[in-house]
């Protein structure tokens, strides 16, 4: 379904009861909303949540910025000189998309969950649009603090390397190789399931150009370290001990920055969503939301 919000066309869908507690889910770097496993989407909807997911700008079926190519060197040079980088949009603009989507859906506020870059965007929804956020759920994400450990070389290469060509089979093989670099270590790497998921994403919308602007948005957005220290909102921080793309220290740091944040570091979990981790995440996210809702009801009474 398409809706116009924040001046752009946004593709979204939802599951669960219309009168359920709203949960907005924000995907990460270059990822379509269909990258959330259907099993995860379903178990959250089955918990009486109104679960809403959408394609970020420049990915999937949401509006594109075709033909605009920010230069990494120019962004770095501008940041060093203390200037605002010349990029088509930043993570704050993407957070405004999320908040506006809720407005257009008639939702006064929702629990905001985001994974990886989506977690960065979710943090900015909480900071820039606090009335729209009942809580923050930051999943294998980061504050963007430059002092934090970097990705492993293998994981960084997996994120930025391009396939030899854009043929479907080549893209699937390339993506599978990359995902192994930051996969969970506790559970088997399900190549068949992931190949099917990557193939469906390719068929729905193969658009590598958008990832260049996503990277520019991340680079051009300032760290959220100091701002998160003043965040007065229930927050759940989830990370894996085996994450080599955004190392677990980033999750610990996020939790340390946010007063009263609840933090769980899951042993053997990487930067992925294998089926085995979904019950674990459900059993952390659903009770957290229920506690927040109970607190809201008590406060209202």
Kindly state the tokens that stand for 86.
């010349």
Say if CB 209 and CB 191 are below 8 A apart: no
Q: CA-CA distance, 36 to 255, in Å (whole number)?
A: 23
Asked whether residue 173 is assigned to any structural domain, the reply reads: no
Q: How many CA atoms lie within 13 A of 228 on its CB side?
A: 28
Nearest residue to 255 (alpha-carbon basis) of 239, 240, 244, 270: 239
Asked whether residue 41 is assigned to any structural domain, the reply reads: yes
Say if CB 111 and CB 23 are below 8 A apart: yes
Task: Write down the pLDDT at residue 106.
Answer: 98
Say if CB 23 and CB 113 are below 8 A apart: yes
Q: Is the dihedral of CA 236, 240, 241, 247 positive or negative?
A: negative
> What is the helix, strand, coil percentage profile of the chain, to 5?
45, 15, 40
Residue with tokens 């704050």: 92
- What's the domain count of the chain? 1
- DSSP state at residue 84: P
Residue numbers of the chain with a pLDDT score lower than 70: none
- pTM tops 0.95, yes or no: yes
Asked whether residue 186 is assigned to any structural domain, the reply reads: no
Q: What is the pLDDT of residues 93-124, one digit of tens each?
A: 999 999 999 999 999 999 999 999 999 999 99
Task: Write down the pLDDT at residue 129.
Answer: 98
Q: Is the dihedral of CA 87, 93, 95, 100 positive or negative?
A: negative
Asked whether residue 116 is assigned to any structural domain, the reply reads: yes
Asked whether residue 283 is assigned to any structural domain, the reply reads: yes
State the residue range of the domain holding 116: 2-150+208-300
- DSSP state at residue 285: H
CATH of the domain at 17: 3.40.50.1820
- DSSP state at residue 19: T
Asked whether residue 160 is assigned to any structural domain, the reply reads: no
Task: Write down the pLDDT at residue 204.
Answer: 98
Asked whether residue 75 is assigned to any structural domain, the reply reads: yes
Asked whether residue 180 is assigned to any structural domain, the reply reads: no
Task: Write down the pLDDT at residue 67.
Answer: 95
């Amino acid at each position: 379904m398409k809706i116009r919000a924040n001046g752009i066309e946004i593709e979204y869908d939802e599951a669960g009861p219309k009168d359920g507690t709203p949960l907005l889910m924000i995907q990460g770097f270059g990822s379509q909303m269909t990258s959330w496993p259907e099993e995860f989407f379903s178990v959250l909807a089955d918990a009486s949540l109104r679960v809403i997911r959408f394609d970020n700008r420049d990915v999937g079926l949401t509006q594109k910025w075709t033909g605009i190519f920010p230069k990494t060197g120019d962004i770095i040079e501008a940041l060093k000189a203390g200037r605002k980088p010349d990029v088509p949009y930043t993570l704050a603009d993407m957070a405004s998309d999320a908040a506006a989507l809720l407005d257009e859906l008639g939702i006064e506020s929702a629990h905001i969950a985001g994974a990886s870059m989506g977690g960065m965007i979710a943090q900015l929804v909480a900071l820039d649009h606090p009335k729209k956020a009942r809580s923050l759920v930051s999943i294998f994400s980061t504050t963007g603090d430059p002092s934090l450990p970097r990705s492993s070389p293998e994981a960084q290469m997996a994120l930025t390397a391009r396939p030899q060509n854009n043929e479907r089979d080549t893209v699937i093989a390339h993506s599978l190789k990359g995902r192994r670099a930051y996969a969970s270590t506790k559970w088997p790497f399900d190549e068949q399931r992931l190949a099917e998921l990557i193939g469906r994403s390719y068929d729905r919308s193969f658009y590598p150009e958008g990832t260049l602007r996503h990277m520019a948005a991340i680079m051009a957005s300032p760290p959220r370290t100091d701002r998160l220290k003043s965040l007065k909102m229930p927050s759940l921080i989830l990370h894996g001990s085996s994450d080599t793309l955004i190392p677990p220290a980033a999750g610990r740091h996020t939790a340390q920055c946010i007063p009263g944040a609840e933090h769980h570091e899951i042993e053997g979990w990487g930067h992925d969503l294998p089926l085995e981790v979904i019950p674990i995440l459900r059993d952390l996210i659903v009770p957290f939301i229920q506690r927040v809702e109970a607190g809201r009801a008590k406060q209202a009474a």
